[in-house]
Chain A
Amino acid sequence: MPNVMIRVKDDGNLLFYIAKKDQEDEIASVEKDTEDEWGGEVELTDGSKYYIDPISPRPSFPTTLRFKRAD
Chain B
Amino acid sequence: MSELTREETEALIQEVLEVYPENAQKDRAKHLAVNDQSVEQSKKCITSNRKSLPGVMTIRGCAYAGSKGVVWGPVKDMIHVSHGPVGCGQYSRAGRRNYYVGTTGVNTFGTMNFTSDFQEKDIVFGGDKKLAKIMNEIDQLFPLNKGVTIQSECPIGLIGDDIEAVAKKATKEMEKPVVPVRCEGFRGVSQSLGHHIANDSIRDWVLSNRDGDESFESTPYDVSIIGDYNIGGDAWSSRTLLEEMGLRVIAQWSGDGTLAEMENTPKAKLNLLHCYRSMNYVSRHMEEKYGIPWMEYNFFGPTKIEESLRKIASFFDEKIQQGAERVIEKYRPEFEAVIAKYRPRLEGKRVMLYVGGLRPRHVIGAYEDLGMEVVGTGYEFAHNDDYDRTIKEMGNATLIYDDVTGYEFEEFVKKVKPDLIGSGIKEKYIFQKMGIPFRQMHSWDYSGPYHGYDGFAIFARDMDMTLNNPCWGKLQAPWLKSEEEPEAAAAGA
Contact = CB atoms under 8 A, between A and B. Distances in A.
Nearest to B277: A22
Interface in B28-72: 40-41, 43, 49
A46 B43 contact: yes
Interface in B385-413: 385, 388
Contacts of A17: 284
A19 B281 contact: yes
A22 B41 contact: no
Contact of A62 (B43, B196, B284, B384): B284
Contacts of A23: 383-385
Interface residues of B, number: 13
Contacts of A68: none
Q: Indicate the size class of the contact surface on chain A.
A: 10 to 19
Given A22-B383, A22-B385, A24-B385, A62 B41 contact: no
A7 interface: yes
Contacts of A7: 284, 287-288
Nearest to A6: B288
Contact of A5 (B40, B49, B196, B284): B284
Contacts of B40: 45
A46 B41 contact: yes
A22 B384 CA distance: 8
A23 B382 CA distance: 12
Contacts of B41: 25, 45-46
A5 B388 CA distance: 19
Contact of B288 (A22, A25, A45, A64): A64
A48 B274 CA distance: 30
Contacts of A63: 288
Nearest to B291: A62
Nearest to B285: A5
Nearest to B193: A22
Contacts of A25: 41
A5 B288 contact: yes
Nearest to B281: A19
Interface string B269-292: 000000000000100100110000
A64 B388 CA distance: 23
Contacts of B287: 7, 62
Contacts of A64: 288
Interface in A23-44: 23-25
B106 to A, nearest CB: 39
Nearest to A61: B288
Contacts of B281: 19
A45 B388 CA distance: 14
Contacts of B384: 22-24
A49 to B, nearest CB: 16
A45 to B, nearest CB: 7
22 contacts: A5-B288, A7-B284, A7-B287, A17-B284, A19-B281, A22-B49, A22-B196, A22-B383, A22-B384, A22-B385, A23-B383, A23-B384, A24-B384, A24-B385, A24-B388, A45-B40, A45-B41, A46-B41, A46-B43, A62-B287, A62-B288, A63-B288
